[in-house]
Structure 1
Amino acid sequence: MSNIIKVKEPIILFHLIRLELKKNKIGWFVKGTILANIIILGLLCMISVVEKSEDTKMLKDISGIFTISGASVRGTFIVFSAVLISKMIINEFKNRTILIMFSYPINRKKILSAKLIIIVCVTFIAMTISHIVASLGFIGLNQIFHFTSAVSLTSNELLAEIIKIIMFSLTTAVAALVPLYFGMRKYSIPATITSSLLIVMVTCQSAGPNFSLANIIYIPLALAVVALGIVVFAIRNIERIDLD
């Protein structure tokens, strides 16, 4: 009997995720992602033009290109993740619409878990794809318009960068859950968004061409550990929340 229950639990979670995706249309997120990619790509081109005129060299090689595009992408989607948290969790608690979900004969922990899984997965996928598209897009445009010196990319370098992108995107997507703590305190959307901006400052700050916090994996990793602690606390205490 216990084995049947264990088998059913992932199925229930899967159906909850499908239900949440139907209820919370993420078309705006997809459109926002496309627009963000265009803006980030334009920003990279603009930076390279300015650098060319001022004779500075941040985008002179593959590492510099992926660092700047990575910082831009992660900064953007940390905020996007906070917006998802606000729409899918904070806003539902604030407006008490979460009571509809809680009225179902389904464990509250699973409902919250489904929402958090969606937020992390959507953020991770968007971040990974956007970083690759922005970086390779700039390299491709550079071959045509010669914004900066010719940049070559070997298959080994590309593989190494993709692995790095996946690692940073995964840790950052989890770290982007930290605003959940600030938002759930008083069901405040402004607090959720503001705290995400603070995380952007911590993880994506640059101090010139030779040093950037965006290159230090331990920062998003440490924040990811903190975020997991917040998630565990929120899930464990979800049964005690009284919205009546």
Structure 2
Amino acid sequence: MKTIIRLELKKNKISTYIIADIIIAITMLGFLFLFAYAPLIEPGDKDMAIFSGYNNLIPLFDVFNMAVFCVMSSVMYSKFVIEDYSGKRPILLFSYPVSRKKVVLSKLFIVCGFTVISMFINNFIIFLIFGITENFIHLVGKNFTFHIILQIAENTIIMSIIAANIGIIAVGAGFIKKSVPTTIVSAVLLASLMCNIVVNASINKVAIYVLTVIMVIIGIVCSGFLIKKINIMEV
């Protein structure tokens, strides 16, 4: 399994996605400053209250970042799975002296793991930089405490798990037609729907945990569907 993962990483040039992750981090840091600054533009505007304070800013930013990583995950799956099992490419994959199941699982493991880890690191670094600059700029007006760091870590883990499973669901939908656009569009639609659900349920932690478990279960089912489809493929 480790050998297959190493081969997949070399073949698909994971460095490309690391560079994309760095670009996302820089862009999202800019958005975080913009979100924090928004209440200062119109102090009396009640609509801007959703950006005020870490309790509002953290979940809002995490949801936005989750949507970005959902799309990134779907793009990776399009490259790792959809393209590899389209046209005549499966002939090469099926010629490997390894079970089809292991090959698919290695692809899912790489993309899923990369999504979760990169989103967590991304968020942590962004909020760390933001927290340091708060000592000088004072956009939020509250101290960046250890409790806030724990809140960021908790929200990020949940959102990254949801993002990873949305990617799996999207590639399951895209694999039916072997379509890259279908995969990406499915991820965008699912991310939009999930953002609305998470924002409305963000106050209730139990609801968020239940939603995360449901997404994991659906992701597992979609993984099983994908493996089954590939196992019965003929070339």
- TM-score grouping bracket, smaller chain normalisation: 0.7 to 0.9
SS at match of 1:152: coil
Partner of 2:40: 52
Where 2:141 maps in the other structure, the secondary structure is: coil
The 2-side partners of 1:32 and 1:213 are apart by 30
Match of residue 230 from structure 2: 238
Output one character per residue of 1:122-150: Cα deviation in whole Å (capped at 9) or x when no partner.
0010111112122222222233223x232
* Corresponding residue of 1:38: 26
| In 2: Cα distance, 1:44 partner to 1:217 partner | 25
8 Å CA contact 1:178–1:226 kept in 2: the answer is yes
Structure 1: runs of 5 or more not aligned: 1-12
1:1-244 matches, within 5 Å, as: 13-55=1-43, 56-146=48-138, 148-205=139-196, 211-212=199-200, 216-242=208-234, 244=235
Q: Percent identity?
A: 26
Q: Partner amino acid for 1:137?
A: I
> What is the letter of the counterpart of residue 181 of structure 2?
P
Whole-Å separation in 2 of the counterparts to 1:66 and 1:127 = 14
Confirm or deny: 8 A CA contact 1:71 1:214 kept in the other structure.
no
Structure 2 length-normalised TM: 0.87
Q: 1:85-137: per-residue Cα shift (whole Å, max 9, x none)?
A: 10011011123323212112211111111100001000010111112122222
Task: Give the partner amino acid of 1:49.
Answer: Y
User: For each residue in 1:17-72, what CA deviation from the matched residue of structure 2 results, as whole angstroms up to 9, or x when unmatched?
Assistant: 11101111022211111111111111121223232112233333222221122112
**One-letter code of the match for 2:42?**
E
Q: Is the 8 A contact 1:203 1:220 kept in 2?
A: no
Query: Alpha carbons of 1:50 and 1:59: their partners in 2 closer, same or farther (altered >3 Å)?
Result: closer
- Residue type of the partner of 1:71? V
Q: Do 2:71 and 2:187's aligned partners in 1 also have CA atoms closer than 8 Å?
A: yes
Structure 2, gaps ≥5 residues long: none
1:4 maps to what in 2?
none
Structure 1 pair 199–218 and aligned structure 2 pair: CA distance change class (3 A): farther
Q: What is the CA–CA distance in structure 1 between the aligned matches of 2:195 and 2:116, rounded to whole Å?
A: 16
Give the distance between the partners of 1:222 and 1:70, measured in 2 at CA.
19
- TM-score, normalised relative to structure 1: 0.84
Q: How many pairs were matched up?
A: 227
Q: From the superposition, tell whether residues 213 and 39 of structure 1 become closer, same or farther in structure 2 (CA, over 3 Å).
A: farther
Query: 1:160 Cα shift?
Result: 4.1
Cα RMSD (Å): 2.1
Q: In structure 2, give the amino acid aligned to 1:52.
A: L
Structure 1 distance, partners of 2:83, 2:55, is 40
Give the AA of the match of 1:40. Answer: M
Q: Deviations over 1:175-217 (max 9, x none)?
A: 321011211111000000000001111122389xxx5456634
Distance 1:57 1:134 in 2: 22
